[in-house]
Chains A and B, each alone.
Chain A
Amino acid sequence: GAGVSQSPRYKVAKRGQDVALRCDPISGHVSLFWYQQALGQGPEFLTYFQNEAQLDKSGLPSDRFFAERPEGSVSTLKIQRTQQEDSAVYLCASSLGAPRSDTQYFGPGTRLTVL
């Protein structure tokens, strides 16, 4: 496919469980972003990678959240010991080069529900 893909599309977790969300960016895209979108809100920035380097993780809400992109392509967002407030749609976006000039293309998101 030509777009950003994310899996799973839907995830239900019991409080306290660990979850891993996957993002496959557009092939060749250098920059990758994770956003969190709570119900009825706009997306909020979590973290940013340029190739395999995590250049900005200022938006991660707690140390339970961890993201990686070890080979500069696929990225995984991991949430440990999930809480109900973690319920949201997690969006991944990628851009070809520097984010200031290039469009961010978004995936369909993973809807996480924590019971």
Chain B
Amino acid sequence: AQSVTQLGSHVSVSEGALVLLRCNYSSSVPPYLFWYVQYPNQGLQLLLKYTSAATLVKGINGFEAEFKKSETSFHLTKPSAHMSDAAEYFCAVLTGTASKLTFGTGTRLQVTL
């Protein structure tokens, strides 16, 4: 079965610092991988997705993620955190003929002054 694991349920960074949110996947076939962001009382918004093209994927709001097959990882990064980045971030996988996204448990990002 396909799955994703997000390390760290809470991450706190200072404004202007590097953001690193970790995601590892488990899949027997090449996966499609996604990062979504969820603001309070809102639905999920797609940040970026990997669909077997370039391994470094650039998304919205300055976020990017690198697909590393050897490490089965798809970590999300942003060089400089902004207060508006504070939200819940979910990594998800969609594989093979599966029609559904399988989400991780989420990482809550806190940005402090």
Contact = CB atoms under 8 A, between A and B. Distances in A.
Contacts of A93: 44
Interface of B: 32, 36, 41-46, 49, 51, 90, 92, 94, 97, 99-106
Given A48-B100, A55-B99, A104-B101, A41 B43 contact: no
Contacts of B102: 45
Interface of A: 4, 31, 33, 35, 40-45, 48, 55-56, 59, 91, 93, 99-101, 103-109
B6 to A, nearest CB: 8
23 contacts: A33-B99, A41-B106, A42-B103, A42-B105, A42-B106, A43-B44, A43-B90, A43-B101, A43-B103, A48-B99, A48-B100, A56-B99, A59-B100, A91-B44, A93-B44, A99-B94, A100-B99, A103-B49, A104-B46, A104-B101, A107-B43, A108-B41, A109-B43
A100 B43 contact: no
Nearest to B103: A42
A101 B95 CA distance: 11
Given A42-B90, A44-B103, A4 B43 contact: yes
Interface hub of B45, B90, B103 (most chain A Cβ within 10 A): B103
A107 B102 CA distance: 17
Contacts of B42: 108-109
Contacts of B45: 106
A45 B101 contact: yes
A99 B44 contact: no
B93 to A, nearest CB: 11
Nearest to B6: A42
Contacts of B44: 43, 91, 93, 106
